[in-house]
Amino acid sequence: MNCKVSIVIEKDEHGYYAYCPELEGCQTQGDSLEDVMSNIKEAIELYLETLSEEEIKESLSKEILTTTIEVDLA
């Protein structure tokens, strides 16, 4: 079964950090963007293996919205 999930990737002075908002606690890190992408894919696959079909459907049916806003810094 194939499915699409949302991931968030953040970069800091230590490398990259990624997490999946639909799957609470599913997170990883990596030294490069390539590393973290590979690591989060593996983490998601392993996480989903621990869930029943019903739990997978419930987790992946969450609506995740992203946007940007402009804020005043003054």
- By the 8 A CB rule, do 43 and 33 touch? no
Sign of the dihedral defined by the CA atoms of residues 25, 31, 33, 37, in that order: negative
Q: What is the pLDDT of residue 2?
A: 82
Query: CATH for 8-60, among 3.30.420.40, 3.30.70.20, 3.30.160.250, 3.90.550.10?
Result: 3.30.160.250
pLDDT, tens digit, for every residue of 2-51? 888 999 999 999 999 999 999 999 999 999 999 999 999 999 999 999 99
Q: What is the pTM of this model?
A: 0.85
Q: Residue 60 belongs to what H/E stretch?
A: helix 53-60
Backbone angles phi, psi at 64, to 5 degrees: -110, 120
**What residue spans define the domains of the chain?**
8-60
Q: What is the pLDDT of residue 30?
A: 97
